Amino acid sequence: MDHPVIAGVEDPADAADAADAVDWAADEAGLRGARLHLVHAWLWEPHQAPASLDAQAARRAGEEALDVLAQRVRDRHPELEVASGVVDASPRDALVALSAAGQLLVLGPRGSGGFRGLLVGSTALHATAHAACPVVVYRAAQPAPGADGGPRGGVVVGVHGREPSDGVLSFAFETARRRLLPLRAVHAWSFPLVLGAGHALPPVYEESHVAGEEDRLLAEVLAGWRAKYPEVPVTEDVVRSGPARRLVDLSQEQQLVVVGRHGEPRGAFGRLGSVSQAVVQHAHCPVAVVPAD
């Protein structure tokens, strides 16, 4: 497959921060049979480097550190084609431009200028809102071991029961299949409000009836996908809750959360809607944001 998996490396010299995300991207590239492209986008700003370093020396230092990460990947995946390079552009612009030719973009959570206490940096948020391909914001998952001693959890995907996205579901099922993981499909619902004169009035509903209809809705959405991926164990999770809250809670025991990108282009973060933004910012494991169909 010609389109590479792209790993954006914010600070290649900070190996402790960069290595885990690069390792995840390398594993994914190997599973996809794709090339891996490591990129560090950088614009010279003198206040970001020691006074003894000029622009060329700082750039060379970045290239050398990126080469070390690339060699780490080659040692772990000798069969994998790996390229690396420094791009003279802002990280936001470079990553969005590169995403047009990539099949997946993988980023660490800290963006340009991010600090260690920051949940998700501005570069990662911008990329998830504007990239042409799916974006994985990598945050190390630490679920407790399963009964067999291996990692617990699997892939969890947020499903809009009335407007399901084939792209989101395809990404989730394919990832679960490649990684031999179970899939949990989450459909969150709430009672709608009836608008009265100047007030929002909660109508009278029979909760069991509404819940049963929501169960049926998700089952219908998943029926074709179950048939297409019979090897993927699927759990249906229909819950009366806010979708972001449920997905963030589940992320504590999962290896990947998959959400769609359905926001308005002129919103605060482009097409990154409120649910996806909340999950990216607060999840405890990697999050994949998939562009809308």
Query: Where are the chain's structural domains?
Result: 5-137, 155-291
Comparing CA positions, the residue from 121, 29, 41 lying closest to residue 76 is: 29
* Cα–Cα distance measured from residue 23 to residue 74, given in angstroms and rounded to the nearest whole number: 11
- The one-character DSSP state at 109 is S
Question: pLDDT tens digits, the chain, 293 residues: what are they?
Answer: 589 999 998 876 665 668 899 999 999 999 999 999 999 987 665 555 554 456 777 778 778 889 999 999 999 999 999 999 998 888 889 999 999 999 999 998 765 444 444 456 788 888 999 999 999 999 887 655 555 555 578 999 999 877 889 999 999 999 999 999 999 999 988 756 555 555 554 555 566 666 778 889 999 999 999 999 999 999 999 998 889 999 999 999 999 999 998 755 555 555 678 899 999 999 999 999 999 76
- Tokens (6 digits) for 84: 């690396």
Residue 115 has a pLDDT of 43
Residue 220 has a pLDDT of 94
The domain covering 5-137 belongs, at the CATH homologous superfamily level, to HUPs (3.40.50.620)
* Cα–Cα distance measured from residue 176 to residue 236, given in angstroms and rounded to the nearest whole number: 15
Residue 186 has a pLDDT of 96
Which percentage of the chain shows pLDDT scores above 70? 76
Q: Do the domains 155-291 and 5-137 match in fold? A: yes
Rounded to the nearest 5°, which phi and psi values hold at 101? -110, 0
Radius of gyration of the chain, Cα coordinates, nearest whole angstrom: 21
> How confident is the prediction for the chain on average, in pLDDT?
83
Burial grade of 3 (CB within 10 A; 0-12, 13-18, 19 or more): middle
Residue 120 has a pLDDT of 67
Give the torsion sign (CA, 75, 76, 79, 84): negative
| Residue 192 three-state SS | coil
Name the CATH code of domain 155-291 (choices 1.10.150.130, 1.10.20.140, 3.50.50.60, 3.40.50.12370).
3.40.50.12370
* Cα–Cα distance measured from residue 32 to residue 3, given in angstroms and rounded to the nearest whole number: 10
Residue 265 has a pLDDT of 55
- Tokens (6 digits) for 116: 């260690």
Report pLDDT digits (tens) over 111-143: 544 444 445 678 888 899 999 999 999 988 765
